Amino acid sequence: MNSPRPPSVDALARSLSENSPLPQPLLVDAAREAIASSATGSGSDDHTDFVAVASAIATHQEASLLQPVINATGVLLHTNLGRAPWPISHPTGYSNLEFDLSQGERGSRQQTVGRLFARLCETERAMVVNNGAAAMLLVLAALASGRGVAVGRGELVEIGGGFRVPEVMSQSGAKLVEVGTTNRTRLSDYQAALTRPSADIALCLKVHQSNYTISGFTESVEVSEMSTLGVPVVYDIGSGLLDARCPWLADEPPQWLAGEPAARQSLEAGADLVVFSGDKLLGGPQAGIICGRSDLIERCARHPLARALRPGGHVLGALQEVALAYLRRDGQSIPFWAMATKPVSELRARAEAIASVALDQVVVDQVAGVQVSEVQVAEMFSVPGGGTLPGVEIPSAGIVLEGDRGEELRSHRLVARVSQDQTFLDFRTIFPYQDEDVSNAVLGLK
């Protein structure tokens, strides 16, 4: 008997439109893929199955689109989930992005936000590009192309996605001059490199080991020592802590920040330029910020790469709001700092409220003969994430579910942490307004 003919692509796509929010062209793609899978023998020839296969494909397409998720992993700066959760909103209309309202003539997109960050860091000038790696690329290209840059061997780091400092330097046209050893670098190592005419050192670069530590028999050179070498010192502090004193917080700086380099103190110690990311400890959108000497930043601003690496108006608008919050010393309006400093007792109370509702449901379902997942409230530890503060743990509290419930929770757009056949929902990275959705997701588990 011949297999039934598959439905037309158009008819199959129309049948999907009743239950899918995807636009028609994407539903057509799903229909075509479902029909093709049947033709190659990987699908069913039953007409009723075409809709099921196409619907599954459409659902996968929908899930792959950018959308809000609940971060229950306990990783505050989760790179896969967008790092710092800063809201970006912009009304329909125009802005004075590159227009001077007082003079009625063209202005600079760097002026306003740059001035705010220069004020925050108590330095001469600042500028913004689209991420931290771009900031370093621009600095090296503008200040050291064709010349040497001295870097301690223990600071030749690899950041996320496999990008490495030597490779970024190569793309900038600067020449890497390695000094010291992996675990021990002294000031005399930099001095020796500067005395070699062939090295032609234009800059000394210090790179914070943001996502790893070297312990034991170690030695490194502080910025204050490097500033005596007679060439500009650039410090890539990476994670974007503005001020070690954290004046935007009501209490003392958290203990877990101890030893983290900050932009203001690094500049005070003698760094000529400091480079850092906007979406890590700063708590804002993805951006790269360069602060320091006005003459050096002017050279960066005039380099052709500056235009290619410049941020858009939405990013600058968001960064302006971040900077103003810091200047107001209003750390609680910055979502990262609000999460990071939340008392464990408050997190535990929210977890207990949801667990109580879930346990009541367990009793009801067990009477009905349905086995459901039980929940337990437990102490746990969050981590900063985002390639910052390796090894640091922040006390937290949340819910533990038995078994791997990750896939079920992801169907509710909730991303949890699974370890040793248990699923952990850490409430430090769950915002209070999301508690109802978390509760619904947990109650939906069977």
pLDDT in tens, 381-438: 999 998 888 889 999 999 999 999 999 999 999 999 999 999 999 999 999 999 999 9
Q: What is the mean pLDDT of residues 240-259?
A: 94
72-76, 104-108, 180-184: which has the minimum mean pLDDT? Answer: 180-184
Contact 221, 261 (CB under 8 A): no
Rounded mean pLDDT of 57-67?
92
Q: Around 256, how many Cα atoms within 13 Å sit in the side-chain half-sphere?
A: 17
Residue 121, pLDDT > 90, answer yes
Residue 254: how many other CB atoms lie within 10 Å: 15
Q: Give residue 167's pLDDT.
A: 84
Q: Residue 306 has which token pair?
A: 């500056």
pLDDT band at 225 (very low <50, low <70, confident <90, very high): very high
CATH number for the domain running over 70-84+340-443: 3.90.1150.180
For 160-189, what is each residue's pLDDT tens digit? 656 677 888 889 999 999 998 888 899 999
Q: Decide if pLDDT at 363 tops 50.
A: yes
- 3-class DSSP assignment, residue 398: strand
Residue 368 vs residues 90, 216, 310, 372, 374: alpha-carbon distances, Å: 50, 60, 61, 11, 15
pLDDT of 115 > 80? The answer is yes
In this structure, the strands spanning 422-426 and 394-402 are antiparallel
Q: What is the pLDDT of residue 4?
A: 60
Q: State the pLDDT at residue 367.
A: 46
Q: Which residue has the higher pLDDT, 72 or 40?
A: 72
- Is pLDDT of 371 > 60? no
Task: Place 1 in a pLDDT band, splitting at 50, 70 and 90.
Answer: very low
pLDDT at 75 over 90: yes
> pLDDT per residue over 291-334, tens digit each?
999 999 999 999 999 999 999 999 999 999 999 999 999 999 99
Tokens of 334: 């910055």
Own/partner contacts of 353-361, CB < 8 Å, gap of 24 or more, are: 353/435, 354/399, 354/435, 354/438, 354/439, 354/442, 355/399, 357/439, 357/443, 358/439, 358/442, 358/443, 361/443
pTM: 0.90
Q: Which residue has the higher pLDDT, 75 or 214?
A: 75
> Residue 325: what pLDDT?
97
Local structure of residue 158 (DSSP, 8 states): B
Q: Do 137 and 110 contact (CB within 8 A), yes or no?
A: no
Between CA 224 and CA 271 the distance in angstroms is: 8
Q: Which of 15, 27, 14 is nearest to 62 (CA)?
A: 27
Among 122, 108, 101, which Cα is nearest to 307's?
A: 108
Query: Which CATH code, of 3.40.50.880, 2.60.260.20, 3.40.640.10, 3.40.50.11540, is assigned to 99-333?
Result: 3.40.640.10
User: CB atoms < 10 A from the CB of 26, how many?
Assistant: 18
